[in-house]
Amino acid sequence: MSNRTEIVLDIETQNTFQDIGTYKASLLSISLIGVYFYETDTYETFLEADLPKLWPRLERGSRVIGYNLFGFDYPCMQSYYTGDIMKLPTIDIMLEIEKRIGFRVKLDSVAQATLGIGKSGDGLMAVEYWRNGEIDKLRDYCLQDVKVTKDVYEKALNEKKVFYFDKLGQKQEVQMPIAPPESNSAPQINLSLGL
């Protein structure tokens, strides 16, 4: 058990933007959410039907960490969550990088340059795993992204910098002065009313 209560997450969906005919993440259906809980040092997954068990745990966390949370994960999650998911204390690593360099960079580029490892594939693979009923493969795929995101976050927290590969394949540094969360920064109310 740790006294840290940050939570790292990544979601996978049952369908694609092409399936729904628009680029509105809020219209996608969640297949699975992969989560790392610092407090228990565990990786867990939550299928769509299990999401109500996840919400109170997210609310108790000091910070939610992810990659493109505000642009993708949170809009998808909002239709399942009774509170305002945008109010959770959050570090969106993609947005933190974008603030500093002026453009967005893919997680795979950041992971390759910072950690020397990348993602295990693209989101379309996850949709195929879901459609084929390959839930174990879906879990493994999602949790690999969670692990990569956690490791990038740790680099930013400990070394105050991460790296990415630019369009010419050159490794570039990004200063990331992320401070640890305050010990009592978790919301003091149940945003989801405990549902």
Render pLDDT for 153-182 as a digit per residue (tens, 0 to 9): 999 999 999 999 999 999 999 999 888 887
pLDDT at residue 150, rounded to an integer: 97
Domain ranges of the chain: 6-175
For 54-89, what is each residue's pLDDT tens digit? Answer: 999 999 999 999 999 999 999 999 999 999 999 999
pLDDT at residue 111, rounded to an integer: 95
Predicted structure pTM score: 0.89
The two three-digit tokens of residue 82, written as one number: 């009774």
The two three-digit tokens of residue 189, written as one number: 């109310």
SS3 letters for 1-57? CCCCCEEEEEEEECCCHHHHCCCCHHHCCEEEEEEEECCCCEEEEEEHHHHHHHHHH
HSE-up (13 A, CA, CB side) for residue 161: 8
pLDDT at residue 24, rounded to an integer: 79
Contact 74, 85 (CB under 8 A): yes
**CATH architecture, range 6-175:** 2-Layer Sandwich (3.30)
3-state secondary structure of 140: helix
Total length of the chain = 195
- C-alpha–C-alpha distance, residues 59 and 1, integer Å: 18
| Residue 102: how many other CB atoms lie within 10 Å | 7
For 97-128, what is each residue's pLDDT tens digit? Answer: 999 999 999 999 999 999 998 776 676 888 89
pLDDT at residue 30, rounded to an integer: 95
Question: Is residue 80 packed enough to be buried (19+ CB in 10 Å), middle (13-18) or exposed (0-12)?
Answer: middle
Q: How confident is the model at residue 195 (pLDDT cuts 50, 70, 90)?
A: very low
Q: How confident is the prediction for the chain on average, in pLDDT? A: 89
